[in-house]
Amino acid sequence: MIGAAALVALGAGGCGDPCPVDVVPSTDDPEAVRQWHLPAVGWTGELGAAGVVVAVIDNGFQLDHEDLEGQLWVNPGELPNGLDDDGNEYVDDLAGWDFLDQDADASREAVEGLDPVLAGHGTAAAGILAARTDNGVGVAGACPDCPLMLLRARDFDAAHNVMPVLAEAVRYAVAEGAEVISLSDGVLPDDVDAAVMAEVEAALAEARAAGVVVVASAGNDGAEVVRWPARIDGVLAVAAVDEDGSPPAWTSFGPEVGISAPGRCVFTTLPEDGYGSFDGTSASAPLVAALAARLRANHPNWSADEVVDRILATASSVDAEGLGAGTVDFAAALE
Ligand SMILES: [Ca+2]
Ligand SMILES: [Ca+2]
Ligand SMILES: [Ca+2]
Ligand SMILES: [Ca+2]
């Protein structure tokens, strides 16, 4: 699992202290007053990136969350009729797929005994990326015009620690037109089955060759160890910074990190039409994915490398080792 100890911030008690917000995003979303992370990365409220589909591969989602309504990618070739209309071998994949259950419903299903923090993981990541913005409800997303392709390929219990269906989810995302993949997930390198690793790395190489930018969380291990698959070449590994622009003690760091982004007290959507703070590099990666999508929209002919290079070249500096190029800066990158 991805550093459960650091994913501590959901629900009552939040981050321990109220999130200090000096600058408030200028949107009509009531909970945006708690979203310090948006102004911190230079996000100024513009919607941007119309039509650039971002795949979020995670542990399931509240697909009908009030602040994700209208934000989901829709498969144009599929009808709800029990048939595989578009011939992609997935029946009725109207808006994504559940690769664990092999069904069309990527909802997060209740699992008895599962930590509620982890139960809300996918919904939190999706909202950071593309919650509906300026709608008078909830929070703002960092790329609200990005259609979200929500793919369930992971559960946070031990049985799924090697992500055996991740390769299939990545290939689906690429085939169905996602241009960015956001992966708030990772395992310690020694915990990956060699065959699974090889298959996932092949799928990620295919994604990259297709121009798809893959962004992944570095991990919450508080050590110089970047989790797999963030650590592999061709995946943009994201570490966390806090509201002071410093690395929280729990963030993973190291030479494989490409960039850093806010990862503490990131206020976002949660299950049951909820909202709350989310901590961890699982919050950081979707922010960077949002910027990648924005850049992709502005520069449709750029390669994945060119998108990543722009993100790195325009980062603001961080006074710490192992955090890559610095903190992601939307304003500078999109200038
Ligand atoms: Ca289909
Ligand atoms: Ca169908
Ligand atoms: Ca399902
Ligand atoms: Ca909203």
Q: pLDDT by residue (tens digit) across 290-328?
A: 999 999 999 999 999 999 999 999 999 888 899 999 999
**Residue 4: predicted pLDDT:** 35
Ligand nearest to the CA of 105: 3
For ligand 4, the distance from its centroid to the CA atom of residue 137, given in whole angstroms, is 4
For ligand 3, the distance from its centroid to the CA atom of residue 64, given in whole angstroms, is 14
Q: What is the DSSP string of 90-109?
A: -TT-SSEEETTTTBS--BPP
CATH number at residue 174: 3.40.50.200
pTM comes to 0.93
What percent of the chain shows pLDDT beyond 70? 87
Only one residue has tokens 């190489």, namely 205
Ligand 3 ion: residues within 5 Å (CB): 98, 101, 103, 105
For ligand 2, the distance from its centroid to the CA atom of residue 77, given in whole angstroms, is 8
pLDDT at 10 over 50: no
Q: Which residue has the higher pLDDT, 118 or 245?
A: 245
For ligand 4, the distance from its centroid to the CA atom of residue 232, given in whole angstroms, is 34
**Residue 110: predicted pLDDT:** 63
Strands in 148-152's sheet, in edge-to-edge order, are 96-98, 148-152, 54-58, 180-183, 213-217, 236-241, 257-262
For ligand 2, the distance from its centroid to the CA atom of residue 215, given in whole angstroms, is 31
- Banded pLDDT at 47 (limits 50, 70, 90): low
> Tokens standing for 142?
């960092």
- Banded pLDDT at 189 (limits 50, 70, 90): confident
Smallest Cα–Cα separation from 116: which of 270, 1, 279? 270
For ligand 2, the distance from its centroid to the CA atom of residue 93, given in whole angstroms, is 7
Q: At what angle do helices 121-130 and 281-298 cross, to 10 degrees?
A: 30
For ligand 1, the distance from its centroid to the CA atom of residue 80, given in whole angstroms, is 10
For ligand 4, the distance from its centroid to the CA atom of residue 138, given in whole angstroms, is 4
Ligand nearest to the CA of 104: 3
- 126-155 as b/e, with b when 16 or more CB fall inside 10 Å? bbbbbbbbebebbbbbbbbbbbbbbbbbbb
For ligand 2, the distance from its centroid to the CA atom of residue 83, given in whole angstroms, is 4
List the domain range (segments joined by +) for residue 117.
4-334
- Banded pLDDT at 15 (limits 50, 70, 90): low
How large is the average pLDDT for residues 38-50?
80
Ligand nearest to the CA of 155: 3
- Banded pLDDT at 5 (limits 50, 70, 90): very low
Could you give phi then psi for residue 227, rounded to 5 degrees?
-70, 160
Ligand nearest to the CA of 68: 4
Ligand nearest to the CA of 127: 4
> Tokens standing for 165?
């269906």
> Tokens standing for 95?
């808006």
- Banded pLDDT at 3 (limits 50, 70, 90): very low
**Residue 184: predicted pLDDT:** 94
pLDDT tens, position by position, 214-242: 999 999 999 999 999 999 999 999 999 99
According to DSSP, the residues that pair with 270 across neighbouring strands are 274
For ligand 1, the distance from its centroid to the CA atom of residue 238, given in whole angstroms, is 32
Ligand nearest to the CA of 82: 2
Q: What is the Cα–Cα distance from 9 to 117, expressed in whole angstroms? A: 7
**Residue 1: predicted pLDDT:** 34
What percent of the chain shows pLDDT beyond 90? 74
For ligand 3, the distance from its centroid to the CA atom of residue 100, given in whole angstroms, is 7
Going by the DSSP 8-state scheme, the letter that residue 110 receives in this structure is: P
For ligand 3, the distance from its centroid to the CA atom of residue 236, given in whole angstroms, is 29
Q: What is the DSSP string of 235-259?
A: SEEEEEE-TTSS--TT---STTEEE
Ligand nearest to the CA of 267: 4
Give the DSSP H or E segment for 238: strand 236-241
pLDDT at 251 over 50: yes
> Number of folded domains in the chain?
1
How large is the average pLDDT for residues 110-121?
72
**Residue 13: predicted pLDDT:** 35
**Residue 324: predicted pLDDT:** 97
pLDDT tens, position by position, 254-276: 999 999 999 999 999 999 899 99
- Banded pLDDT at 164 (limits 50, 70, 90): confident
**Residue 293: predicted pLDDT:** 96
Please report, as a single letter, which amino acid is at residue 72.
L
